[in-house]
Chains A and B, each alone.
Chain A
Amino acid sequence: MIYSKLAKISLATIAVLGLGATSLNADTLSEVQKQGFVKCGVDGGLPGFSEVGSDGVYKGIDVDLCRAVAAATLGDAKKVKYVALNAKERLTALQSGEIDMLSRNTTWTETRDTSLGLKFAGVNYYDGQGFMVTKKLGVKSAKELDGASICLQTGTTTELNVADYFRTNKMKYKLVSYDTNDQVLKGYESGRCDVLTSDQSQLYGLRIKLEKPNDSIVLPEVISKEPLGPVVRQGDDKWFNIVRWTYNAMLTAEETGVTSANVDAMLKTTNPDIKRLLGVEGQMGENLGLKKDFAYTIIKQVGNYGESFERTVGMGSPLKIARGYNALWNAGGLQYAPPFR
């Protein structure tokens, strides 16, 4: 008896754990609105992109995108539940529905876009892979790295690019791979490897985490294209559109000069582009299944792309990364949003 009771009670315990079984169907938007927050997968330990500040608040350019989506769908940028994921788990977490969107410096590749049941909704950071070495080594170019030990994060496109690069240049290398960026950095710092390779933006972010950042340099070579962007599940076009156009709204806002500071004043503008963007005119919001003023909310609460960039990775941040490829198309960069029309 006692044991059957035990069994029953244990089952009850699990049920109470209630951890479980939240339901979510193909309509991510209504699910998000029902649960009252957006479940957003981020890195959590990458300066500039997504990191937890000492006050326990997530910040970074990837985080800003989560916040923008929350602002667009729920009207409040704070309504995000962040799920910190390592490179290995991130894609399965999205596939399994643990998160609604992934905004974790994920490279857009053909394989990921086509064979994993995922869809990339845009590119919020154009990156390329680079190398960081200690100054002591006296290395000036990646071509001099023959025979070096290389630390990198496993489960990324990084390890494939390194293999390709060394193969094409007929060099040998020793691979030391780890699960998380923290481990990679520690391996590098302790001298387990000579070189740390990652996307360039990350290299700058990781460098400021070193005890002596100035003893390391980032080599000039960029060995790959790394378009990083938000990812959603295949099969929910409505949600895909929301994420894509949330991002486009931020770009368009920068292009038209709308910032979080002047957005209220801009409501009274005569510029038709801005009018459509902010929902004063047209059906843009409704077409997405959102409120008319969704873009206004995003800009008001999160800011435009430029603001977000400068605050998180640009000159307003410890990383001080220049806009480069991430400048708008009309300023010599690659960031280009289709028109709001």
Chain B
Amino acid sequence: MLITLLRNPKVRGFIFQFLTVIGLVAFLWYIGINTVANIEQRGIQTGFGFLNGTAGFGIDQSPISYSEEDTHGRVFLVGLLNTLIIAFVGIVFSTIVGVIIGILRLSKNWLIAKLARGYIDFFRNIPLLLQILFWYNVVLRAMPSPKQSYNFYDMFFINNRGLYFPLPAYNITFYTILGSLVVALLATIVLNAWANKRKETKGEDFIVIPWAIGMFIIFPFIAYFLGGSHLDFSYPELRGFNFKGGKTLSPEFLALAFALTIYTATFIAEAVRSGIEAVSHGQKEAAASMGMSNYQSLKLVILPQAIRISIPPIINQYLNLIKNSSLATAVGYPEIVTVFAGTSLNQVGQAIEIISMTMLVYLVISLVVSAVLNWFNHKMKIKER
């Protein structure tokens, strides 16, 4: 009786799960009581009260206002925003570089194809941390000091303290121009939809690109006058020790962004390449036999299919890039791991709370990004009829 019961897969499954739960609970319990005992015994503080405590240290780059008198909670926010900034920049640039390299990799031009392949083979086989350190310690350190900066038209400066460029003042003219760009973008999208529809219904071509370019030039031009034609720039200027005014990108940021872009682009390029290669040869031949030009066949036949195949691996690379941005701590770019899990942790000493919060941040970012991109992926899927 008992034995037959034991042989029943359902019963066995139940017992097995039951044991797992017991084991897991026991393990967590064990860890829990030890941790509590250890914390008590060593007199370490607990709780999240530290988030309201004054941080007392400075942070060099912050997208929001921050001073030494602000709290550790604010430090957390600054770190989080810096993480998002570096992730965004990395994703945009690695996508651009990756797609270009991926297409060049399949170029009929022998030299270009080989160069693209060389790029991929070289950079994907070198640890990212090593690349970050290399750009930071070897390349950017070799730049001249502020007084001997490379100077481009007195507007752009490069030296070993970073890259400086002018920043427009946020006045009405600036915002109207910004608005006009949005309008131009929307107009382009509408125009494109209209052109597609016309192509489908009447079979007539309408080339959108020159119109779009025109709009992007003319609209801001009009907006400039509408907005009072008063555009102020704050130019970087060498005053005292450093450049003042304008906007600075620190070497830490540049090294990190550069390395993340170059490294991730190799993987995106491979994804793009295998996406294109996965489109069967018959499709290309069919497009050619319908008299499509190379450009048409790429735009209307190959890419729509290739993109769908490439999206999942590219999503993965985006997630990797976000996680890899945590290597910033090696060069001291003030993102969340550097300032919060680094400096704040040192001042406060509450490792459990701080590390868990940091992990949670990445977890949430990863989940949100993958949810959004999966939705996009789902939407892009070929709808079978």
Contact = CB atoms under 8 A, between A and B. Distances in A.
A140 interface: no
Q: Is the interface of A mostly helix, strand, loop or mixed?
A: mixed
Contact of B161 (A117, A149, A162): A149
B177 to A, nearest CB: 30
B343 A177 contact: yes
Interface string A72-115: 00000000000000011001100100000000000000010011
A117 B42 CA distance: 4
A163 B57 contact: yes
Interface stretch (A40-48, A187-195, A268-276, A294-302): A187-195
Contacts of A146: 240
Interface string A206-223: 000000000000000000
A192 B242 contact: no
Interface residues on B, range: 20 to 34
A176 interface: yes
Interface in B85-109: none
B57 A116 contact: no
A234 B346 contact: no
Given A115-B45, A176-B332, A192 B349 contact: no
A132 to B, nearest CB: 15
Contact of A148 (B45, B141, B242, B347): B242
Contacts of B332: 154, 176-179
B160 A191 contact: yes
Contact of B241 (A149, A162, A164, A175): A149
A237 to B, nearest CB: 14
Interface in B38-62: 41-45, 56-60
Nearest to A87: B346
A324 interface: no
Interface string A164-190: 100100000111111100000010001
Contacts of A159: 57-58, 343
Interface in B205-264: 239-242, 244, 251-252
B343 A234 contact: no
A233 B42 contact: yes
A175 B59 contact: yes
A31 B346 CA distance: 28
Contacts of A316: none
Contact of B43 (A88, A117, A137, A149): A117
Interface residues of A, number: 40
Contacts of A115: 43-45, 349
B137 A186 contact: yes
Nearest to A167: B68
Contacts of B346: 87-88, 91, 154-156
B292 interface: no
A53 interface: no
B351 interface: yes
B166 interface: no
B145 interface: yes
B342 interface: yes
B240 to A, nearest CB: 4
Contact of A192 (B42, B56, B160, B351): B160
Contacts of B252: 176
A116 B242 CA distance: 39
A80 to B, nearest CB: 24
A194 B349 contact: no
A147 interface: yes
Given A163-B58, A177-B343, A233-B42, A116 B244 contact: no
Contact of B42 (A148, A163, A190, A234): A234
A233 B141 CA distance: 41
A333 interface: no
Given A95-B42, A147-B239, A147-B242, A116 B58 contact: no
A149 B242 contact: yes
Interface string B129-152: 000000001000100010000000
19 contacts: A87-B346, A88-B342, A88-B346, A95-B42, A95-B349, A115-B43, A116-B42, A117-B41, A147-B240, A156-B346, A174-B60, A176-B60, A178-B332, A179-B332, A186-B137, A190-B141, A192-B160, A192-B161, A233-B42
Interface of B: 41-45, 56-60, 68-69, 137, 141, 145, 160-161, 239-242, 244, 251-252, 329-330, 332, 342-343, 345-347, 349, 351
Given A92-B351, A175-B58, A175-B59, 4 more contacts: A95-B44, A117-B42, A147-B240, A149-B241
Give 10 closest A-B pairs by Cβ, nearest first. Answer: A117-B42, A155-B346, A163-B68, A117-B43, A159-B57, A190-B141, A175-B58, A147-B240, A148-B241, A191-B145
